[in-house]
Amino acid sequence: MGLKAILKQVTPPVILSLAKKFYYRYSSTGYGLTGNYSSWEQAVAESSGYDAQSILEKTKLALLKVKDQQAVYERDSVLFDEVDYSWSLLAGLMWVAARHGGKLNVLDFGGSLGSTYYQNRKFLAALSQVRWNIVEQLHYVETGKACFEDNSLRFYPTIPACLSESRPDIILLSGVLQYLKSPYSILKQVMEIPADLILIDRTPFWSGKEDRVFIQRVPPEIYAASYPIWVFSMERFFSIFQDEWKVLTMFDNPTDRLNGPIDFSFQGIFIVREERMSTQ
């Protein structure tokens, strides 16, 4: 069965029910997206940033509890007593694994300390082999290597460092592109990797013709921080996928909700290398 058919079967009813259970994001006045900035640099100057040690420390403590099975699920450093599965994302992972004899090799760019890996480990355990490579900021890599790395989960400071040791079949960009100064340069870099699938998840889009820059302000009950964020123009974003890559399908991320000055929504996208499509 093709990936598109799998997504149609598993996504709608489950995702909608989860949206009601896990709606917690930034509904308070004053939090979410604010401002209307002319440049990324201007938004940086007026925010605290997301490389604060306090964010890393809270994320580490939460994920250590998940790793040691003292907690069930972590997201954005917040612990939950039930796993919030992204069934569309999981379908993509399993589709790629099925094409490789039950083996899965992931490059998870901006994957924190393994949030998505631990989220899906119950299903990943059914595969014959899993290699989950996380590319992150250096202080996350150092913490990841010290506290989380094992035979399956690895941490690297750059994409070339990862590729020197591993050849991923799927590139995962979950909730990360919007927080990069130059997201399109990262997209172009990962498009050079000979993988089957680029899976973009938890990414904000709007219908305008230009990308917009805002500041995201996080409620203090999560952690005290503010940082720049892109809301991407769908038209501009899709224009970079040409030649060998094809946008296969999109899916909603209804569990992500942020207040903001424009109408936007969080989406996921499956981008498949054309030559791989011919074997479906």
Summarised one tens digit per residue, pLDDT across range 52-76 is 677 888 899 999 999 999 988 888 7
Short-list 218, 215, 230, CA closest to 54? 218
Q: How confident is the model at residue 148 (pLDDT cuts 50, 70, 90)?
A: very high
pTM of the model: 0.86
In angstroms, the CA 44 to CA 64 distance is 30
Encoded tokens for 59: 């994320």
Residue 173: which residues within 8 A CB-CB, separation 6 or more? 109, 110, 186, 187, 190, 198, 199, 200, 201, 203
Which DSSP symbol is given to 1?
Answer: -
Instruction: Spell out the domains of the chain, with CATH numbers in brackets.
Output: 3-277 (3.40.50.150)
CB 208 within 8 A of CB 202: no
Is it the case that residue 51 has pLDDT exceeding 90? no
Short-list 28, 59, 34, 30, CA closest to 47? 34
Summarised one tens digit per residue, pLDDT across range 216-275 is 988 777 777 889 999 999 999 999 987 789 999 999 887 788 889 999 999 999 999 977
pLDDT (mean) for 161-182: 97
